[in-house]
């Protein structure tokens, strides 16, 4: 047991260093640099050089004390920055997958729907113009090129009217809708139980995809943390924006992989869950099977009467003490 606890403590310490302290130290160094450089001359290294010279000019004892205190403060600040970035990442995870029922996400959803409609109408109009029999020569070539561009824009976007404010939320919603349509299944209710019957390999894949999604959200959190430094040093907006953009792409990819794995788990192991719950999967059509599983999990179980579980005398005693 002591060996297990030691290994567990080592793993926790390594994860703490990897996720909080090391990225946090980079952020603290960036914050100190931003504070010293400022807005006036953002790329002038002389303020930093003067600061290092002033530290080097300190008496040895004072310099040692100052460096020790700076190291402690830096580690604490980096840990705090890591916790803040992780908290921002958790918020972003939920926002990316939110249904968009309330503003401002509802505004984003309406904007996506307007854009979807505009792209469809533009493609239809361009195709109509390209088929105009009165066009010839260069005018016809231009109209056909415009029609091809409009068609590519239409095909690059979603094929159905968006129902969620982000593509990530759209993909998760598609999995839930598929489970409801194909299997009659409420995926939000059934998934925790379905997870318990999945084989270890599939569990590992799902957990890895989930961690990739969370890691992308943490990266976006760090991007926002760097963007905050713009109040002291405007170039900080560049790495912050780049990190948020990369995180958004990674999150979208991870969400697609995770949703595909959830669909796979539903397809391959729904019958296993039904068997565990005592539902006769072989005698039920697929949509009825999913509906039966959902009802089995959301409704109170039918408890056998006391007469079925006890002799008649005991039943009478229970019913009429």
User: Which pLDDT tens digit goes with each residue over 198-218?
Assistant: 999 999 999 999 999 999 999
Range picked from 27-41, 194-208, 265-279, 297-311 for highest mean pLDDT: 194-208
5: pLDDT strictly greater than 60: no
Residue 225: partners with Cβ closer than 8 Å, 6 or more residues away = 27, 81, 84, 85, 88, 240
Domain ranges in the chain are 101-164, 166-300
- Rounded Cα distance between 214 and 279, Å, is 35
pLDDT of 20 reads 58
Phi, psi of 304 (to 5 degrees): -60, 145
Place 234 in a pLDDT band, splitting at 50, 70 and 90.
confident
pLDDT of 243 reads 92
Sequence-ordered alpha helix ranges (H) in the chain: 2-16, 22-37, 46-56, 60-96, 105-130, 137-156, 167-183, 187-196, 200-228, 237-276, 286-298, 306-309, 312-319
Place 255 in a pLDDT band, splitting at 50, 70 and 90.
very high
Place 3 in a pLDDT band, splitting at 50, 70 and 90.
very low
Mean pLDDT across the chain: 81
Closest-CA residue to 147 (of 121, 124, 116): 124
Q: How many CB atoms are located within 10 Å of the residue 30 CB?
A: 19
Task: Report the Cα 315 to chain-centroid distance in Å.
Answer: 54
Place 261 in a pLDDT band, splitting at 50, 70 and 90.
very high
Lowest mean pLDDT, pick from 76-80, 112-116, 243-247, 287-291: 287-291
Residue 310: partners with Cβ closer than 8 Å, 6 or more residues away = 318
pLDDT of 136 reads 82
- Pull the structure tokens for residue 19: 């996720």
pLDDT of 14 reads 52
Are the CB atoms for 275 and 281 separated by under 8 Å? Answer: yes
- % of the chain beyond a pLDDT of 90: 28
- Rounded Cα distance between 61 and 71, Å, is 15
pLDDT of 313 reads 38
User: Which pLDDT tens digit goes with each residue over 67-92?
Assistant: 788 788 888 888 888 888 889 999 99
What value does the mean pLDDT take over residues 256-261?
Answer: 94
- Pull the structure tokens for residue 254: 């991870």
Cis peptide before 229 (omega within 30 of 0): no
- Rounded Cα distance between 171 and 203, Å, is 20
């Amino acid at each position: 047991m002591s060996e297990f606890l030691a290994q567990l403590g080592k793993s926790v310490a390594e994860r703490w260093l990897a996720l909080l302290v090391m990225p946090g130290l980079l952020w603290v160094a960036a914050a100190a640099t931003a504070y010293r450089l400022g807005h006036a001359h953002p790329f002038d290294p002389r303020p930093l050089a003067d600061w290092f010279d002033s530290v080097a000019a300190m008496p040895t004892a004072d310099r040692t004390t100052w460096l020790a205190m700076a190291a402690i403060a830096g580690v604490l600040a980096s840990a705090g920055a890591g916790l803040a970035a992780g908290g921002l990442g958790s918020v972003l995870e939920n926002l990316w997958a939110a249904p968009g029922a309330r503003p401002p996400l509802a505004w984003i959803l309406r904007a996506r729907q307007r854009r979807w409609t505009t792209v469809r109408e533009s493609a239809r109009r361009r195709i109509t113009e390209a088929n105009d029999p009165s066009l010839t020569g260069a005018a016809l070539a231009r109209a056909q090129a415009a029609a091809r561009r409009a068609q590519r824009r239409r095909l690059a976007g979603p094929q159905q009217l968006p129902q969620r404010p982000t593509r990530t939320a759209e993909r998760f919603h598609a999995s839930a809708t598929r489970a409801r349509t194909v299997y009659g299944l409420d995926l939000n209710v059934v998934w925790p139980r379905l997870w318990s019957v999945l084989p270890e390999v599939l569990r590992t894949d799902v957990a890895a995809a989930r961690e990739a999604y969370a890691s992308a959200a943490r990266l976006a959190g760090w991007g926002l943390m760097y963007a905050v430094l713009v109040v002291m040093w405007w170039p900080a907006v560049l790495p912050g924006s780049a990190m948020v953009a990369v995180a958004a792409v990674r999150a979208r990819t991870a969400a697609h992989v995770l949703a595909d794995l959830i669909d796979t788990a539903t397809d391959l192991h729904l019958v296993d869950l039904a068997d565990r719950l005592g539902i006769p999967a072989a005698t039920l059509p697929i949509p009825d099977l999913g509906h039966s599983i959902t009802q089995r999990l959301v409704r109170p179980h039918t408890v056998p009467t006391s007469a079925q579980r006890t002799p008649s005398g005991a039943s009478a005693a229970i019913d009429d003490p």
